[in-house]
Amino acid sequence: MRHVVFFLAFLSSLWRRGQTQHCRSAIFFVMPSPSISNNYFEFFSLERKLGVDGDVLQKRFYELSRQWHPDRFSRKSAQEQAQALEATSILNDGYRTLKDPVKRAEYLLTEEGFPIGEQRSRDVPPELLEEVFELNMALEELKSGDESARPQLEDAKRNFVDLRAGVDEELEKLFRKYDAAESQSETAKQALHEIRGALNRRRYIENLIRDVDKALHPAMAAAESIEDRL
Partner 1 sequence: MGTFQIDFGDERKSTIVGIDLGTTNSLVAYMDLTSPRIVEDANGQKIVPSVVSLDSSGTLIAGEPAREMLMTHPERSIYSVKRLMGRGVADVQSELKLFPFRIAEDSEAVIKVKLGGRTFTPPEISAAVLRQLKANAEAALQAPVTEAVITVPAYFNDAQRQATKDAGRLAGLEVLRLVNEPTAASLAYGLDKRKEGVIAVYDFGGGTFDISILRLHDGIFEVLATNGDTHLGGDDIDNLLLRIALEDVQSEWGEDLSSDPEGVQRLRRAVIRAKEELSFVPSAIIELAYHGKTYQRAIDRELFERLIAPVVERTLGPCRACLEDAKLTPEQIDEVVLVGGSTRIPLVRAAVERLFKAKPHTDLNPDEVVALGAAVQAGILSGDVEDKLLLDVTPLSLGIETMGGVVSKLIHRNSTIPASATESFTTAVDGQRNVLIHVLQGEREMVRDCRSLARFELKDIQPMPAGLARIEVRFLIDANGILNVTARDTRTGQEQTVEVKPSYGLSEEQVEAMILESFEKAEEDMRERQVREARVEADNILAATEKAQRNEAWKALTAEERAAIDSAKRGLQSVYHGNDHRAINEKIEVLNKATMALAENMMNTAVRGALKGTKVD
Give the single-character DSSP code of 76. Answer: S
Residue 198, Ramachandran bin (φ over 0: left; ψ between -120 and 50: alpha; else beta) = alpha
Q: Determine which residue in the list 70, 101, 166, 197 makes contact with partner 1, applying CB under 8 A.
A: 70
Instruction: Return the closest-CA partner of residue 135 out of 163, 119, 159, 166.
Output: 159
- Least distance from C-beta 146 to partner 1, angstroms? 25
Residues 21-60 that bind partner 1 (CB under 8 A): none
Work out whether 85 is an interface residue with partner 1 (CB under 8 A). Answer: yes
Q: How far is the CB of 73 from partner 1 (least distance, A)?
A: 9
Short-list 161, 150, 129, CA closest to 215: 150
What is the b/e burial string over 80-107, where b = at least 16 CB atoms within 10 angstroms of the residue's CB? eeebbebbbebbeebbebbeebbebbbb
If binding is defined by CB under 8 A, does position 223 make contact with partner 1?
A: yes
- Tell me how far, at minimum, the Cβ of 70 lies from partner 1, in Å: 5
The reply on whether position 65 binds partner 1 by CB under 8 A is yes
Q: Does 219 help bind partner 1 (rule: CB under 8 A)?
A: no
Q: According to CB under 8 A, which residues from 133 to 172 bind partner 1?
A: none
Distance CA 17, CA 169 (A): 30
d(CA 96, CA 88): 12
Residue 36 three-state SS: coil
Q: Toward partner 1, which CB reaches closer, 82 or 128?
A: 82
Q: Counting contacts by CB under 8 A, is residue 175 touching partner 1?
A: no
User: Given the complex with partner 1, which of 7 and 181 has the nearer CB atom?
Assistant: 7
Q: Given the complex with partner 1, which of 42 and 179 has the nearer CB atom?
A: 42
Binding stretches for partner 1 (CB under 8 A): 15, 17-18, 62, 65-66, 69-72, 74-75, 85, 88-90, 92-93, 95-96, 223-227, 229-230
